[in-house]
Amino acid sequence: MDKFVIRGGNPLLGTIRVSGSKNSALPCMAAAILTEDEVVLENVPQVRDIETERKLLVSMGAEVELGYGRAQHRTTISCRVLSDPTAKYEIVKTMRASALVLGPLVARAGIARVSMPGGCAIGARPIDLHIKGLETMGAQISYEHGYIEARAERLKGAHILFDKITVTGTEDLLMAAALAEGETVMENCAREPEVTDLAALLTAMGAKIEGAGTSTIRVKGVEKLHGAKHRINPDRIEAGTYLVAGAITGGDLCVSHCNPTHLGALIGKLQECGVRVEILGKDQIRVRGDGSLKGADISTEEYPGFPTDMQAQYMALATQAEGASLVKENIFENRFMHVQELVRMGANIRVDGRTATVRGRTPLSAAAVMCSDLRASASLVLAALVADGESILDRVYNIDRGYERIEEKLRGVGAQIRRMGNVFGGD
């Protein structure tokens, strides 16, 4: 099992390039199920979750070609044949976003069998709102052997009001509604840029969608959708992670190929902490951490609020800021997996329910730490970049799920980081 060895202390200097968004590419790949034609996606990140989705689609009978390098990170997907509309447990257990095939499969094939996603490190992660929406559209739902089965001759347009804002729930039902009979109105939708990106692809495929990116989306179902070519948005969380990396190391870093308009809440918070952030044109942001940092509170909210996917990374920065920072996690019930590891490195953090109080500034000392969920792992990378000495991060496959070649990108701007195979044996 790979590990990272990181020696802290180097300010990050230069330009770091952001890849395509994992959380856009996953629903967009699932959207290919909706048509017999070929769908070509560009700027797809080379991360484990994309490979998992490729395996999932192939297991259902699709042809998926993933080309990286000169092929400009392109995937070509053909779901002409869907021989087995099943998302199997072996795959779903490694990636709960597999639930994104539920809506498209029922809409295209009239049947879907998806393994109920187990919980995951950050919480129960139910999909009850996905299921409730499909039932409202006329799907017959049954549960057997840990699988949910959804059937419908043809889904019917409906009025759907989400009890809670759900990103993949909005995406799942948006895809289902695209081929439903009649109009669907969805209220209390997620407004994340990933929803808007998916809607852009579906529209290019012939779907009739209004209001993507707002809390009310209207879809006029069509009989068929055709193939399309679509470029995936930049990954706003990867970009945010590198902005924090530039700040925490006291560097001067340009984050390129990103979309600054997707990062308003984070940029505002970094500036409140005393970080110098400058937007250079439509796809570059310059961050300088040369001043002293002061603590600032955050409360995670749905987009455009402060993203839960940046909470762990922000907490690492808060350990280096003077004073207290209150970090409130409102979206997931167990998203403080990074806290104990940061404390082992010398951070002063107290958790009380969904609020963590970080008291800085505390020097961090290098340690052997364990990666857990994707963003908690990113937080440990950031802490190790500023810790005194050499840290060893175990189970970095968690990072590989959502960060493309992170050690190469960071080394390219001066970080002392290298990947090692299993150095001590064991798991």
Distance of closest approach, residue 378 Cβ to ligand EPZ, in angstroms: 9
Structure tokens at 73: 């990170």
Q: Which is nearer to ligand EPZ, 332 or 336 (CB)?
A: 332
Q: Which is nearer to ligand EPZ, 269 or 375 (CB)?
A: 375
β-bridge partners, 351? 356
Distance of closest approach, residue 274 Cβ to ligand EPZ, in angstroms: 27
- Rounded Cα distance between 284 and 304, Å, is 19
Distance of closest approach, residue 309 Cβ to ligand EPZ, in angstroms: 5
Q: Which is nearer to ligand EPZ, 122 or 285 (CB)?
A: 122
Could you write out the three-class secondary structure of the chain?
A: CCEEEEECCCCCEEEEECCECHHHHHHHHHHHHHCCCEEEEECCCCCHHHHHHHHHHHHCCCEEEEECHHHCCEEEEECCCCCCCEECHHHHCCCHHHHHHHHHHHHHHCEEEEECCCCECCECCCCHHHHHHHHHCCCEEEEECCEEEEECCCCECCEEECCCCCHHHHHHHHHHHHCCECEEEEECCCCCHHHHHHHHHHHHCCCEEECECECEEEEECCCCCCCEEEECCECHHHHHHHHHHHHHCCCEEEEECCCHHHCHHHHHHHHHCCCEEEECCCCEEEEECCCCCECCCEEECCCCCECHHHHHHHHHHHCCCEEEEEEECCCCCCCCHHHHHHHHCCCEEEEECCEEEEEECCCCECCEEECCCHHHHHHHHHHHHHCECEEEEECCHHHHCCCCCHHHHHHCCCCEEEEECCCCCCC
Distance of closest approach, residue 311 Cβ to ligand EPZ, in angstroms: 9
Q: Which is nearer to ligand EPZ, 45 or 402 (CB)?
A: 402
Q: Which is nearer to ligand EPZ, 11 or 48 (CB)?
A: 48
- Rounded Cα distance between 76 and 32, Å, is 9
Q: Which is nearer to ligand EPZ, 35 or 166 (CB)?
A: 166
273 as an active site residue: the answer is: no
Catalytic residue among 28, 120, 254, 273: 120
Distance of closest approach, residue 141 Cβ to ligand EPZ, in angstroms: 13
Distance of closest approach, residue 385 Cβ to ligand EPZ, in angstroms: 20
Distance of closest approach, residue 125 Cβ to ligand EPZ, in angstroms: 5
Q: Which is nearer to ligand EPZ, 10 or 233 (CB)?
A: 233
Binding site for ligand EPZ (CB under 6 A): 23, 26, 97, 123-130, 164, 166-169, 190, 194, 308-309, 331-332, 374-375, 402
Active-site residues: which are they? 120
